[in-house]
Amino acid sequence: MLVNMNEVLLPAKRDQYAVGLFNAVNLELARGIINAAETMQSPVIMGTAEVLLPYGPLEEVSYYLIPMAKKARVPVVIHLDHGLNYDTCIRALKLGFSSVMYDCSIDPYEENIRKVKEMADIAHSYGATIEGELGHVGDNEGSAEGSSCLTDPSQYYTDPERARDYVKRTGVDALAIAVGNAHGAYKLPPKLDFKRIRTIARTVDVPLVLHGGSGLTDQDFKQAIREGISKVNIFTDINVAAVKAELEKFTDMNKGIIDLIPAAVEAVKQESIKKIQLFGSDGRAGREPAFGSLSASDLEKLTQLVAAEVAKYLKGNS
């Protein structure tokens, strides 16, 4: 079923696991990801990013992503990752994406807030969710997702107090943070600032997002999730897995595309399954009670309201 990000990330935040965002710029990727999520009974976030649009235009991608999400037996969010322009985000919402990221992280702070707040109001009017980014996640050399190689990434790490202010003023549903992570394949093993993740998680009340997940160790992921990450973005690992499988299958010049497609789908599926298990979202599809995202005190208030209404009704009928 097609859902927005709150429906999968609020339970993840509460129960300390993470849901993966896997970019699906073609049908092999999308089929592999959905297959993995259904096999593992896991919620999943699928989509594309503005910098990936040359490989699959937004509209064409939406033609398969949204029906596939609706038909899936697990909750699927269709998300625009790193929307860089206002118009791209609006187009995604109009096409039926259930979530967008509006990345204004290289704008000055107040400008980032102003633009993202405006988009948050629009996204919410569509029943969609929105992710913002504070601090700036850079790119490793050769990353498909961008070419902002930062000389000193720690200068762009997310500040916890600013994060609190940012979330409050923009109304974002999820926040991408910069804590030593980068897009693409890492040349040197990354060092995540776990203490910063923990502090931000205690300071803001929306789920936190870790970009640039490909290349982190299993240990890194587990600790990042323990400290408060609820969404992890993965692209490089599934992208590479698909091509490796196709190369292995391409044993002679008589092989055609239909020999390679099933191999790519299977490789994406297996790689996605590994990540789903690592993030702990396996078995989490469809087990949410109806009021799963309400706090205990909200639930208590709701119960009292219902009880009062029932009492009024009974009085009127006696």
Write the interaction track for Zn ion spanning residues 206-235; mark x where CB under 5 A is met and - where it is not. Answer: -----x------------------------
Give 139 or 266: the residue with its C-beta nearer to Zn ion: 139
The whole-angstrom separation of Cα 34 and Cα 16 is: 22
The catalytic residue among 81, 139, 159, 220 is 81
Give 196 or 211: the residue with its C-beta nearer to Zn ion: 211
Cβ 289 to Zn ion shortest distance, Å: 32
Q: Answer for the pair 153, 178: CB distance below 8 angstroms, yes or no.
A: yes
Site for Zn ion in 172-211 (CB under 5 A): 211
State the amino acid at position 237 in one-letter form: D
Cβ 305 to Zn ion shortest distance, Å: 41
The whole-angstrom separation of Cα 318 and Cα 45 is: 52
Give 139 or 282: the residue with its C-beta nearer to Zn ion: 139
Cβ 204 to Zn ion shortest distance, Å: 18
Write the interaction track for Zn ion spanning residues 33-72; mark x where CB under 5 A is met and - where it is not. Answer: ----------------------------------------
Cβ 73 to Zn ion shortest distance, Å: 28
Helices 27-40 + 236-249 axis angle, to 10: 110
The whole-angstrom separation of Cα 56 and Cα 106 is: 25
Q: How many CA atoms lie within 13 A of 284 on its CB side?
A: 25
Active site residue 107: no
Our measurement of the distance from residue 249's CA atom to the centroid of its chain's CA atoms, rounded to an integer in Å, reads 31
The whole-angstrom separation of Cα 273 and Cα 282 is: 9
Q: Answer for the pair 230, 18: CB distance below 8 angstroms, yes or no.
A: yes
Cβ 49 to Zn ion shortest distance, Å: 7
Residue 79 binds to Zn ion (criterion: CB under 5 A): no
Size of residue set near Zn ion by CB under 5 A: 1
Q: What are phi and psi of 183, to 5 degrees?
A: -75, 155
Give 211 or 284: the residue with its C-beta nearer to Zn ion: 211
Give 148 or 203: the residue with its C-beta nearer to Zn ion: 148
Cβ 183 to Zn ion shortest distance, Å: 5
Give 209 or 273: the residue with its C-beta nearer to Zn ion: 209
Q: What are phi and psi of 135, to 5 degrees?
A: 85, -175
- Which position's Cβ is nearest Zn ion? 211
What are the residue numbers of the active site?
81
Residues that bind Zn ion (CB under 5 A): 211
